[in-house]
Amino acid sequence: MITVRTYDARLRCRAIWTSNQNRKSNATAGVSDICPTMRRTSRPFKPNMARERVTTLSMVAEEMPRVHTGDVEKARSAAAPPRPIAIIIGQFKHGGSERQLYTFLSYCDRNRWSPVVYVSGELGFWEEPIRKLNIPVVLLTGGPLAKMWQFRKLCIAQGAKHFFSWSSYTNVYGLALAGLAAHRVGSFRNTGFTDLPSRWRRIWAWASLAGISTAVCNSRRTKTEISQRSAPAKQVVYVPNAIQVFSDDNLRSYREAWRQKLGLSDNDVLVLGVGRVEPAKNFKRFVDVVHQVVEQVPIKAVVAGRDQGDLPAVKAHADQLGLQKFIQFPGLVPDARELICAADIFLLSSDREGMPNVVLEAMAAGVPCVSTNVGAIDDVIENGKTGFIAGMDVRALAQHVHQLAVDPALRQLFGSRARDAIKSKFQPEHIVGELWTLCEARIGR
């Protein structure tokens, strides 16, 4: 005996369409819930039944409007539960990378994703803001191997088949997910793997690449380097950092407030440096530039940021050059973006960077920048149009700072161009969307 099962794909589309028309909560309700006469049946086959069924299905096809494949996929997606994703970062200190993570999570579609953030090092400033997004934060404990084993067990418990590492250091945690068919996205924010431990750096670099299937680089230089070191099958993409732009009213408000705090007049030209005070940021070079410019123009300068062991040496260097009246060191400020609004020139003196957030933030505030030629700086500053890029030479940097300091019209022109560039190229809505799209890769593809 032959059995006929009537469960046509077109009837499923009819069910979805009718369900939407009736505003029912379940977008993929069964056919029997909507049209009882079209139930899934299993009855003995008879010739007259075949004719009846053909006629009935033809009538339904004529009555049913066209349903696009995209509509069906949206309905299925709406009914599917959010997918667990494990996101890992090294620390939650007051840094640009952490701010980028916060922006990334702020644009998370919680109907599609269920993120958990794992921290392999220290908790800190950004823990509370991320928890306020109703995203769990988990601190891994123990030695390196214990943390990796702990991470694997937690990902299994979470059901995470998607992994996003926010730094080259934490990319190695992708190795802990071996055998779980997870899609693993990793990040590279510096050229030359300089953000990895100096001891056994070659091994760290290998593990950082081996732990991921997709590499996200925030500079074209880094993308080129990672592409050369990676297997052809590995996807390597360039996605710049994202930055939010303050309104004109906020810019004016923050500028006035901070210049008053710093004791600056409207005529004072403020050269600003922001970042962790550590050797890699080379604020001694910043001091040397200020010293050369002060001999010609009476500028003011500020170095703001958390001391990472180099602040006493930087202050001593400034004192030796007789700059006590010209440079202030306010330390870590609550929101450096607000302080940046008070600046007339932003000076980046680093030896190495990825894509420096502080430069993006300065440009977003309409502040022209002068920078050493590091990391992704040439992806950000258009030399001679939105700012100046020099080498590591103090004299070249000082010449550019002096040129801007004595020419208010040039500062205004460069600042306006810089702000427009940020608005057109680095807005979060587009950039963060690219990152979430990279997480969408199908498992096992």
At residue 192, does pLDDT exceed 50?
A: yes
Asked, for residue 212, whether it belongs to a domain, the answer is yes
pLDDT at residue number 61: 39
Confidence class for position 59, pLDDT limits 50, 70, 90? very low
CA-to-CA separations, 284 to 309, 351, 377, 397, in angstroms, rounded? 13, 11, 20, 13
pLDDT band at 79 (very low <50, low <70, confident <90, very high): low
Mean pLDDT, rounded, for 211-221:
92
Q: What is the mean pLDDT of residues 124-143?
A: 95
Residues 88 and 134 in one domain: yes
**Mean pLDDT for the stretch of residues 109-127:** 94
The strand pair at 162-165 and 183-188 is best described as parallel
Q: What is the mean pLDDT of residues 314-321?
A: 97
> If pLDDT is split at 50, 70 and 90, which confidence band does 190 have?
confident
Q: Out of 25, 42, 77, pick the residue that ends a domain.
A: 77
The predicted structure's pLDDT at residue 78: 56
What pLDDT sits at residue 95?
80
**Residues 101, 125 within the same domain:** yes
- Pairing relation of β-strands 327-331 and 162-165? unpaired
In a domain, 445, yes or no: no
Which alpha helices (DSSP H) does 64-142 contain, by range? 69-79, 96-106, 127-131
Same domain, 286 and 205: no
User: Could you say which of 62, 77, 92 is where a domain stops?
Assistant: 77
Question: CB count, 10 Å around CB of 235?
Answer: 14
Q: What is the pLDDT of residue 47?
A: 45
What pLDDT is attached to residue 116? Answer: 97
What letter does residue 170 receive in the DSSP assignment?
G
Q: What is the mean pLDDT of residues 327-331?
A: 96
Decide if pLDDT at 397 tops 80. yes
Contact, 188 vs 219, CB < 8 A?
Answer: no
Residue 434: pLDDT band with limits 50, 70, 90: very high
Tens of pLDDT, residue by residue over 157-186, are 999 999 999 999 999 999 999 999 999 999
Spatial contact of 168 and 195, defined as CB atoms under 8 Å apart: yes
Closest CA to 154 of 131, 127, 181, 173: 173
Answer yes or no: is 406 within a domain.
yes
CA distances to 40, 69, 201, 421 from 8, rounded to whole Å, are: 9, 15, 59, 53
Any idea what the CATH number is for the domain that residue 273 is in?
3.40.50.2000
Q: How much is the pTM? A: 0.77
- Is 443 a domain residue? no
Q: Is the pLDDT of residue 77 over 80?
A: no
Decide which of 430 and 399 is more confident: 399
* Confidence at residue 191, expressed as pLDDT on a 0 to 100 scale: 76
CA–CA distance, 107 with 81 (Å, rounded to integer): 18
- Rounded to 5 degrees, what are φ and ψ at 427? -75, 140
* CA–CA distances in Å: residue 148 to residues 86, 152, 155, 170, 186: 13, 6, 11, 10, 16
Strand partners, 163: 86, 184
pLDDT at residue 20 above 50?
no
Average pLDDT over residues 1-17: 40
Query: 265 and 390 share a domain?
Result: yes
106 & 69 share domain: no
Q: Among residues 59, 77, 95, which one ends one of the domains?
A: 77
* pLDDT band at residue 442 using 50, 70 and 90 as cut-offs: low
Domain residues for 310?
A: 248-426
Query: Is 35 within 8 Å of 18 (Cβ atoms)?
Result: yes
Considering the domain boundaries, does residue 349 fall inside one?
Answer: yes
Domain assignment present for 444: no
Query: Does residue 257 share a domain with residue 222?
Result: no
Domain identity same for 49 and 111: no
- The reply to whether 393 and 306 lie within a common domain is yes
* Element at 329 (helix H, strand E): strand 327-331
Task: Write b or e for each residue in 292-321: b if 16 or more Cβ atoms lie within 10 A of its Cβ, otherwise e.
Answer: bbbeeeebbbbbbbbeeebbeebbebbeeb
pLDDT greater at residue 133 or residue 27: 133
Average pLDDT over all residues of the chain:
84
pLDDT at 22: 46
Asked if residue 208 belongs to a domain, the reply is yes
pLDDT over threshold 90, residue 2: no
In tens, the pLDDT along 356-375 reads 999 999 999 999 999 999 98
Res. 19: pLDDT tops 50: no
Domain match, 369 and 388 both: yes
- Classify residue 15: in a domain, yes or no: yes
Cβ-based burial of 127 (10 A; exposed 0-12, middle 13-18, buried ≥19) = middle
| Overall number of domains in the chain | 3
Q: Is the pLDDT of residue 422 over 80?
A: yes
Residue 253's pLDDT band, with cuts at 50, 70 and 90, is very high
Q: How far apart are CA 56 and CA 38, in angstroms?
A: 9
Q: Which two tokens stand for residue 419?
A: 């702000």
- CB-based contacts of 305, cutoff 8 Å, min separation 6: 273, 274, 275, 276, 277, 281, 331, 332, 336
Same domain as 187, residue 173:
yes
- Give residue 230's pLDDT band: very low, low, confident or very high (50, 70, 90): confident
- Using DSSP's 3-state secondary structure scheme, residue 328 falls into strand
On whether both 219 and 258 belong to a single domain, the answer is: no
If one compares 387 and 23, the residue with the highest pLDDT of the two is: 387
Examine the domain organization and report whether 62 and 156 are in the same domain. no
Residue 11 pLDDT = 38
